[in-house]
Amino acid sequence: MEYTFVMIRPGAFRRNRVDYILNRIDDIGLKVEYYDFKFLTPEFIYEHYANLLDGSLPLDIFERTKIENLSGMVIGMIVSGDDSILKMRELIGPNNVKRAQEEFPYSIRALGDPNNNPDNLIHASDSLESAEIEIKRFFNRDLIDIINSIDIEEEPLVLKKEVV
């Protein structure tokens, strides 16, 4: 069993894609073990996306990513299953929305707006080490503490739109 961190970003809420993303995760045999909804802080974003500030990418990519992530609520999740990191990375597709749409049209990031590249709807850890760091950053707890506290009888995350 492998655990990874996944974060559904504000663009998924704006496009009403949260249920779709959760279903896609389920369809590939992975399970959402734990989740929380939050609004990110600038401090969180600077730490989480520090790799965008290393000089290898234009600064405007970080700024657009920061604006996108501050624009609404996110869902942070611990997702489990065999090869969960690899499966999630394949499911979400490449960071660049235009590339995702051209080369990986069935990926989650292909649903984003190609004119607003940071609006790629989802983040997933790229390694076990990253998953542990990102889980601790988002939930303020170590993975093992969270796993030990999970109630296995708990209902899975399902978001439903109420029809009025």
Enumerate the active-site residues: 123
Of 143, 124, 153, 129, the residue nearest 24 (C-alpha): 124
CA distance to 13, 118, 138, 158, per residue, from 134 (Å):
21, 19, 6, 23
Q: Give me 47's structure tokens.
A: 């730490």
**What does the alpha-carbon distance between residue 125 and residue 44 come to, in Å, rounded to a whole number?**
16
3-state secondary structure of 4: strand
The answer to whether the beta carbons of residues 118 and 9 sit under 8 Å apart is no
